[in-house]
């Protein structure tokens, strides 16, 4: 399936398929689905319609996950949960009609920021209330994280994305799921442990993140840094205890503890609040967005993000790895052990047959030479790395999952760069000449949706520097999330291969091939590059020093220097190999290839002053030669 074929239906076409709804705009599209803002004409209200793209509507597994989300949400009715109004299929394309929330996700509203404790408590208590309602109806979410929490303009949380939800009485085997950093440790050991206490663990991580501004960013362990509020520290530590038995017995119990001693309605600051991070706690502000914007990006996480569902695709046959699954009368699953293989005994050496005895009286046959026995050449053994894959279908699936994760990363990188370009354009209009020139150079060096590295500090205003730093921080977070996805895909892939190898008894050549296939994934980067090659990204650099150009020196050694933007320094009339470097403090170093002590200059008006390697004073002024 080509990437070009994955196009969401236009709002006009979807409107023809669903005439009972007025389709207003496409909100967001990802690798597997899309979400639209629409009006339910009969009730005159806004709704969000999520569709599974045609290419995946025919896949039973994708349809099952999509249907699971619709049914799970339909069973629930709570102000802290996204409501579902309808579900159906039109021309082979499943769709869900849901509540439209004109706000942001918690991830967008509070990313990398510590918010006021009273408001953090109010938000987390709302999440607990919604989850408690779901748990009472035997629904476990299994992927609670900030990007799955929508905030109304009044900052009331609403839980979305029940694509990985499962009834607590489900007879399905456990599957790898969730998001590293928010998923309880026991779930990584045994996916069947993804129950109410695992949801509670995720809520505890969110509470810690809101209080500290620290993104768990793919961590496999519980948070550790204190918040400075002893009572809240005790609460989130108990909620995220590594031993599930030591946590709160339910999210309702956690909500009750949060409600003691906090003025949740006013969401005012807590006394003696200390924020350990560099940023101060702030009240959260939720921005509303127009119909064509990103208001409901969160709602499509189960369709747009690979996340836990990618691992679901790899591990869906988990219960088949050790043998056939049978069901006893009491309903419990029994895994039949593999059939025993009889010991074949010691190897038998087969000698070549002796030549036939000569027949008496047959002189001609006696005189004929006996031909040597024909020995078949022994096939050359190949090293394990060169063996064909033991499970080519799983390898093909891994390639698809890696490609999907990469598309998700590229989309997020593009959004980050679009935000930076918009910020740069706004600052350029009000910037002075030097800063405007620098902004232009930065825009020119943006390539492959990557933020260029700024070398030096001269000419970079505080606000511009903060914008670039924020863009770099987001870029690092996107890359870390992508690597976390790749690690999870690889780990599920290797687990599946090794489990199948352990259960293999029929084909003696298959087990080593399965293990060799697993060993090839030991080096994550090399494995990913071998399956889905990607050009190596080379960082682009922009000098913020404003030093490029012609300079005249009074150091009595050389009169003219020509500074190139790439850092080369051409000393006119000599053959010296010299480079200039702008340091972080804005000072200038002129470095010589023969390892002489560099000249160091500081900005002095329109020029630079400093000393030579011999301690003699020197200055540089703009040249006109």
Active site residues: 143
Contact 160, 147 (CB under 8 A): no
SS3 call for 147: helix
Residue 331, Ramachandran bin (φ over 0: left; ψ between -120 and 50: alpha; else beta): left
Q: Measured over all CA atoms, what is the biggest interatomic distance in the chain, rounded to whole angstroms?
A: 121
Element (DSSP H or E) covering residue 466: helix 462-503
Contact 287, 105 (CB under 8 A): no
What's phi and psi for 150, nearest 5 deg?
A: -90, 145
Give CA separation, 613 vs 20, 582, 595, 617, 621, in Å. 80, 17, 11, 10, 19
Output the CA torsion 112→115→121→122 (10° steps). Answer: -110
Give ∠ CA 46-300-219 in degrees, rounded to 5.
135
Location of structure tokens 């012609």: 550
Element (DSSP H or E) covering residue 271: none
Residue among 222, 197, 186 nearest 207 (CA): 222
- Return the HEC string of 59-89: CHHHHHHHHHHHHHHHCCCCCCECCEEEEEE
- Distance between CA atoms of 493 and 315, rounded to whole angstroms? 8
Residue among 526, 303, 501, 520 nearest 395 (CA): 520
- The neighbour count for residue 454, using CB atoms within 10 Å, is 23
- Distance between CA atoms of 262 and 119, rounded to whole angstroms? 10
């Amino acid at each position: 399936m080509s990437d070009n074929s994955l196009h969401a239906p236009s709002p006009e076409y979807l409107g023809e398929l669903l005439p009972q709804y007025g389709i207003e705009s496409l909100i967001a599209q990802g690798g597997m689905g899309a979400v639209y803002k629409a009006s339910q004409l009969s009730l005159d209200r806004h709704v969000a319609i999520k569709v599974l793209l045609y290419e995946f509507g025919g896949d039973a597994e994708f349809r099952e996950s999509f249907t699971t989300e619709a049914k799970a949400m339909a069973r629930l009715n709570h102000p802290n949960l996204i409501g579902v109004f309808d579900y159906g299929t039109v021309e082979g394309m499943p769709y869900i009609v849901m509540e439209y929330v004109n706000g942001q996700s918690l991830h967008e509203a509070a990313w990398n920021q510590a918010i006021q404790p009273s408001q953090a408590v109010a938000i987390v208590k709302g999440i607990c209330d919604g989850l408690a309602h779901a748990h009472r109806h035997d629904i476990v979410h299994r992927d609670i994280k900030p990007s799955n929490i929508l905030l109304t303009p009044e900052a009331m949380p609403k839980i979305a994305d029940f694509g990985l939800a499962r009834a607590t009485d489900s007879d399905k085997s456990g599957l790898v799921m969730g998001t590293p950093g928010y998923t309880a440790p026991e779930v990584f050991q045994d996916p069947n442990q993804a129950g109410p206490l695992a949801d509670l663990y995720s809520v505890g991580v969110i509470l810690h993140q809101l209080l500290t501004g620290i993104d768990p960013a793919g961590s496999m362990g519980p948070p550790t840094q204190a918040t400075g509020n002893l009572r809240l520290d005790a609460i989130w530590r108990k909620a995220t205890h590594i031993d599930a038995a030591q946590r709160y017995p339910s999210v309702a119990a956690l909500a009750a503890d949060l409600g003691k001693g906090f003025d949740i309605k006013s969401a005012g600051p807590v006394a003696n609040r200390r924020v350990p991070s560099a940023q101060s706690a702030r009240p959260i502000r939720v921005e509303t967005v127009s119909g064509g914007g990103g208001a409901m990006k969160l709602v499509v996480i189960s369709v747009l993000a690979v996340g836990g569902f990618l691992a679901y695709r790899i591990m869906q046959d988990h219960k088949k790895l050790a043998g056939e699954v049978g069901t006893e009368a009491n309903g419990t699953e029994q895994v039949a052990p593999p059939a025993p293989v009889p010991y074949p005994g010691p190897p038998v050496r087969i000698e070549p047959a002796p030549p036939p005895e000569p027949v008496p009286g047959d002189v001609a046959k006696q005189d004929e030479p006996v031909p040597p026995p024909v020995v078949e050449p022994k096939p050359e053994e190949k090293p394990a790395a060169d063996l064909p894959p033991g499970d080519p279908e799983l390898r093909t699936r891994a390639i698809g999952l890696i490609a999907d994760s990469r598309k998700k990363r590229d989309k997020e990188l593009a959004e980050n760069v679009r935000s930076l370009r918009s910020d740069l354009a706004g600052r350029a209009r009000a910037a002075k000449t030097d800063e405007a020139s620098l902004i232009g150079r930065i825009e020119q060096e943006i390539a492959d949706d990557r933020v260029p590295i700024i070398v030096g500090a001269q000419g970079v205003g505080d606000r511009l520097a903060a914008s670039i730093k924020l863009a770099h921080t987001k870029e690092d977070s996107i890359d870390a999330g992508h690597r976390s996805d790749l690690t999870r895909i690889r780990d599920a892939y290797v687990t599946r291969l090794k489990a199948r190898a352990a259960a293999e008894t029929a084909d003696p050549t298959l087990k080593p091939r399965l293990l060799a296939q697993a060993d090839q994934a030991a080096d994550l980067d090399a494995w990913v590059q071998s399956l889905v090659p990607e050009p190596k990204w080379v960082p682009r650099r922009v000098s913020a020093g404003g030093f490029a150009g012609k300079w005249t020196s009074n150091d009595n050694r050389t009169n003219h220097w020509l500074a190139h933007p790439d850092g080369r320094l051409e000393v006119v009339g000599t053959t010296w190999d010299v480079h200039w470097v702008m340091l972080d403090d804005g000072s200038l170093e002129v470095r010589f290839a023969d390892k002489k002590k560099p000249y160091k200059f500081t900005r002095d008006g329109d020029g630079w002053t400093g000393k030579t390697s011999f301690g003699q004073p020197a200055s540089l002024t703009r040249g006109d030669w």
